[in-house]
Amino acid sequence: MSSDQLFKEASRLSRPELDQFVSKIISLRAQLSAPSLPGREAELLRLINRAVPASIQQRFAELVKKRDAEALTPQEHEELKGLTLEVEGIEAERIQYLSELASLRGTTLSALMESLGLGAPDYA
């Protein structure tokens, strides 16, 4: 399958599915370059490229949409708060791994993130 065909198929995915797919592609890229990296750097890249599970991303997006429409039940509001904490925890770990990798490479966090093509996630 060509890259153009892959792109065409990816364009048909929902936003959460696309985010999960992109995360897997980034992880694959890291795995392919990992053999040439020192052990800790390869491990950090693997940890950095772990995605927030698609089920959490999807439920989070559903609840945010309901919140924006002011249609959340009290139980859904509590669920949204819990998911927010969970996602923030995952992202905080990711920043810790990125900081450690930046330190190992003798660069800044922003420069490292730019070199890896990483930005802030849409659900944060």
Per-residue pLDDT tens listing for the chain (124 residues): 888 888 888 889 888 888 788 877 877 776 666 556 678 888 898 898 888 888 999 999 999 999 999 999 999 999 999 999 999 999 999 999 999 999 999 999 999 988 888 775 554 4
Instruction: Please give the model's pTM, rounded to 2 decimal places.
Output: 0.62
Taking each helix axis as running N to C, give the angle between helix 54-68 and helix 15-33, from 0 to 180 degrees, rounded to the nearest 10. 140
Predicted pLDDT at 123: 47
- Kindly report the length of the chain: 124
C-alpha dist (Å) from residue 116 to 12, 15, 30, 45: 25, 21, 9, 10
Cα separation, 60 vs 22, whole angstroms: 18
Count other Cβ atoms within 10 Å, centred on residue 103: 12
pLDDT value at residue 31: 67
Question: Are the C-beta atoms of residues 45 and 35 closer than 8 Å to each other?
Answer: no
Supply the pLDDT for residue 9.
87
Q: What is the pLDDT of residue 115?
A: 87
Domain ranges of the chain: 3-115
Q: Give the relative orientation of helices 54-68 and 74-105 as an angle to the nearest 10 degrees.
A: 130
pLDDT at 2: 87
34 Cβ contact list (under 8 Å, min separation 6): 42, 45, 46
Map residue 55 onto helix, strand or coil: helix
Query: Residue 21 has what pLDDT?
Result: 82
Q: Given this model, what pLDDT does residue 122 score?
A: 53
What pLDDT does 124 receive? 45
Q: What is the pLDDT of residue 35?
A: 56
| pLDDT score recorded for residue 29 | 74
